Structure 1
Amino acid sequence: MQWRIKPVLPVTKLMGAVAIMVLAAAFAGADPIRWGIAGVAAAGVFLWALRDLLAPIRLAADPSGVTVVTGFAGRRHLPWTAIERVRVDRRTHRGLRTEMLELDAGDAIYLFSTNDLGAQPEEVAATLSDLRATAVSLDENQVGPA
């Protein structure tokens, strides 16, 4: 199973980077400071979009464990035994409700939003729990009684 970002996100971010430069052309004139600020902002948004293009799959799971994106576009495979807890973190702040999928791997916690997963965190947590239970039962059957 794989969960990836929604395709509209990097496109929107790239359009935002272009919009920043268009606005700079319209309002900055010959002011180098305004151009510099616009350039830095556009580059930041472009790099943010580039990450989405380089690593669109944020979470993948199979019977051996899960693979998560780390850093800019790196990957880390975590066996099921390394994952201590899978839960959905729900928070309400200023009338806005957020849900994040939380994978607790002991030494690190990985958080994924609905935009990161392209699905509701509750659904992904249920799928991961089912896959984990299946993987654990397969391991117990392969080991057998001692």
Structure 2
Amino acid sequence: MRAGTDSESSAAQWRVPRALPVLKLAGAAALVGLGLLFAEGDQIRLGLAGLAAAALVGSALRDLLAPVRLAVDAAGITVISGFAGRRRLDWDAVEAITVDRRPRLGLAAEVLEIDTGDSLHLFGRYDLDAPPGEVAEALRAARPERR
């Protein structure tokens, strides 16, 4: 599922599901609430709940500041880098686009891997709001023929 497509240049982008930051913020609020409810004067319990909530808020903030994790056009691929930065990968730099499938807890987990030789960029289902296999096919289709 492409989050956005420009038919003129065959550009596409994939983003975090829109509901995910909201769920993370709600989880952070629930952690703080549970920490206050069950701390019973224990500062360590309250501190741990606050720390976990802060981590969730940080993750939700990243999702809000940089929701688009991956974009492709005729010139190359743009991936998220760092907390909310972007890194442009020209097609010449991309060595391989693969999908790693592994069983985890009775379920198959898929991760899209974009290998440049110098770096490896990994994207899961919740980074792309689409199955990694479909995204890999779309990336391969967007890549110009090598000469």
**Aligned residue in 1 for 2:129:** 118
Structure 1 equivalent of residue 62 of structure 2 = 51
Q: What residue in structure 2 maps to residue 82 of structure 1?
A: 93
Unaligned 5+ runs, structure 2 = 1-11
Aligned with 2:39 (options 5, 24, 28): 28
5+ residue gaps in structure 1?
Answer: 141-146
Query: How does the TM-score come out when normalised to structure 1?
Result: 0.88
Which ranges of 4 or more aligned residues in structure 1 deviate by more than 4 Å? none
Residue in structure 1 matching 2:77, options 66, 88, 91: 66
Match of 1:143 in 2: none
User: Which residue does the alignment assign to 1:128?
Assistant: 139
RMSD: 1.3
- Deviations for 1:71-124, whole angstroms, at most 9, x for unmatched residues? 111110000000000111111134221011110011011111111111111111
Q: Secondary structure at the match of 1:6?
A: coil
Alignment TM-score, normalising by the size of structure 2: 0.87
Higher CA-based Rg: 1
Identity score, percent: 52
What is the distance in 2 between the residues matched to 1:22 and 1:58?
A: 31
More helix by share: 1
Tell me how many residue pairs correspond in the alignment: 136
